[in-house]
Amino acid sequence: MNSPVSLKQQLLTSNSDLPPNLVALIDDVASACRNISALVTRGAMAGVLGDAGSENVQGEGQKKLDVISNDVFIDKLQWSGNLAGMASEEMDDMHPIPAAFTRGDYLITFDPLDGSSNIDVNGSVGTIFSIMQAPAGDVNNSSFLQPGNRQVCAGYCLYSSASMLVLTTGNGVDGFTLDVSSGEFLLTHADIRVPAETSEFSINAAYTRHWFAPVKRYIDEALLGSEGPRGRNFNMRWAGSMVGDVHRILMRGGVFMYPADKKLAADNKAGKLRLLYEASPMGMLMEQAGGLASTGNERILDIQPDSLHQRVPVIMGSATEVELVDSYHSEAS
Ligand code: AHG
Ligand code: MN
Ligand code: MN
């Protein structure tokens, strides 16, 4: 029997062009995710459930685990010598690397705990991250405003029945399962490809009355099943955690949508999900697995960010389904 391939082994052998400091940084990210996985698994016993009693810059109530996971990332990564700055959903502004530590070549953006409404019900949660080159000179919030097509690595860790790290360095997508006995992430899903055609969609249907016409048309047609224009029956799944929902779609195909809607628009929000911490990294993973990621009107990876916490509509998954939703948007405009 072949011995299992570790994360580091796969990074060093499958893509020999990766700079060693990027490999070291990804290894540190994996280590942070391992710590968060241990906290999530111990749950109530670790005293990490419940509200933190604070709000983030976006006005969302923070869970204790949102704040703790953010701290784990900072504690694990800031001294590594590989980063020039860090930005997260849970921090108002970027976190500069303290002067005592060496400045590195990269920037990281992250959603430390995605799907935090699931924490207290023992549902799936995750961590999402994106790595890009740091521009020369001083680092500030605007250093992070780079389109997703400039990411050098994107990934997530899903904390579910097993913890899995799924990542791309621009050379396909690999999945690694955390072996709790050795503490190592081992390659279990090499070269993940999202099936091109599927019959599953993932959207919060409680917002049906707020949807714009193109999204309503796509879902209405899917709901008509074999009696409608699609000529086949569809399934619906919604975990309430983007990591959980997108992981399922990477595994067996489908389309994930958190689209623009009238309610979000009335609140002056282009979408709910954040470009730099959620849409961009998940968009890169989806494209690297052969799928697509769009707002309905443009490719997510081509959006030039205008602010750190910018929100965008998200439609991603199997190529044929995303193309169809896109075509309904262009027909409507
Ligand atoms: P976060 O917990 O990081 O704020 O993200 C939650 C996101 C995403 O994971 C999920 O798809 C979506 O919010 C769920 O939103 P609704 O509660 O509006 O369905
Ligand atoms: Mn999130
Ligand atoms: Mn979050």
Mean pLDDT of 281-293: 98
> CA-CA distance, 120 to 153, in Å (whole number)?
30
Residues 71 and 162 in one domain: yes
Mean pLDDT, the chain, rounded, equals 96
Residues 183 and 240 in one domain: no
60 pLDDT tier (thresholds 50, 70, 90)? confident
Residue 321 located in a structural domain:
yes
Residues 181 and 226 in one domain: no
Domain boundary among the residues 162, 189, 216 is at 189
Residue 195 located in a structural domain:
no
Which atom of ligand 1 lies nearest, measured to the CA of 114?
3
Choose one of 117, 158, 210, 275 to mutate for the ligand 1 pocket test, by most ligand atoms within 8 angstroms of C-beta.
117
Choose one of 204, 249, 311 to mutate for the ligand 1 pocket test, by most ligand atoms within 8 angstroms of C-beta.
204
The residues lining ligand 1, judged by C-beta closer than 6 Å to any ligand atom, are 60, 89, 111, 114-116, 204, 240-242, 258, 272
- Residues surrounding ion ligand 3 at CB below 5 Å: 89, 111, 113-114
43 pLDDT tier (thresholds 50, 70, 90)? confident
Domain that holds residue 214: 200-332
Q: What is the CATH number of the domain that holds 93?
A: 3.30.540.10
Look at 38-47, 114-123, 230-239, 278-287 and tell me which has the smallest mean pLDDT. Answer: 38-47
Q: Which ligand is nearest to the CA of 115?
A: 1
Ligand 1: residue whose CA is nearest its atom 7: 115
Residues 150 and 234 in one domain: no
Choose one of 272, 311, 314, 315 to mutate for the ligand 1 pocket test, by most ligand atoms within 8 angstroms of C-beta.
272
Residues 71 and 169 in one domain: yes
> What are the φ and ψ backbone dihedral angles of 274, each rounded to 5 degrees?
-90, 135
Whether residue 1 has pLDDT greater than 70: no
Q: Which ligand is nearest to the CA of 125?
A: 1
Residues 183 and 36 in one domain: yes
Work out how many domains the chain is built from and give that number. Answer: 2
Neighbour count for residue 176 (Cβ, 10 Å): 25
30 pLDDT tier (thresholds 50, 70, 90)? very high
Neighbour count for residue 27 (Cβ, 10 Å): 16
Q: What is the CATH number of the domain that holds 226?
A: 3.40.190.80
> CA-CA distance, 115 to 66, in Å (whole number)?
10
Residues 136 and 242 in one domain: no
- DSSP structure string for 197-265: S-SEEE--GGGGGGB-HHHHHHHHHHHTGGGSTT-S--EE---S-HHHHHHHHHHH--EEEE--BHHHH
Residue 11 located in a structural domain:
yes
Residue 36 located in a structural domain:
yes
Residues 52 and 156 in one domain: yes
Domain boundary among the residues 189, 210, 233 is at 189
Residue 1 located in a structural domain:
no
Domain boundary among the residues 154, 189, 224 is at 189
Residues 141 and 255 in one domain: no
Mean pLDDT of 123-135: 97
Q: Which ligand is nearest to the CA of 240?
A: 1
Residue 2 located in a structural domain:
no
Residue 169 located in a structural domain:
yes
Residues 237 and 261 in one domain: yes
Report percent pLDDT > 70 for the chain: 100
Residues 232 and 282 in one domain: yes
Mean pLDDT of 288-300: 98
| Distance from residue 193's CA to the centre of ligand 1 (Å) | 25
pTM of the model: 0.97
For residue 155, what are the β-bridge partners?
129, 167
Look at 38-47, 63-72, 138-147 and tell me which has the smallest mean pLDDT. Answer: 38-47
Closest CA to 167 of 133, 204, 192, 137: 192
Q: Output the pLDDT for position 9.
A: 95
The answer for residues whose C-beta is within 8 angstroms of residue 79's C-beta and 6 or more apart is 101
Residues 250 and 126 in one domain: no
Whether residue 58 has pLDDT greater than 90: no
Residue 212 located in a structural domain:
yes
Q: Output the pLDDT for position 199.
A: 92
| Distance from residue 134's CA to the centre of ligand 2 (Å) | 24
Neighbour count for residue 230 (Cβ, 10 Å): 16
Ligand 1: residue whose CA is nearest its atom 18: 204
Whether residue 141 has pLDDT greater than 80: yes
| Distance from residue 246's CA to the centre of ligand 1 (Å) | 12
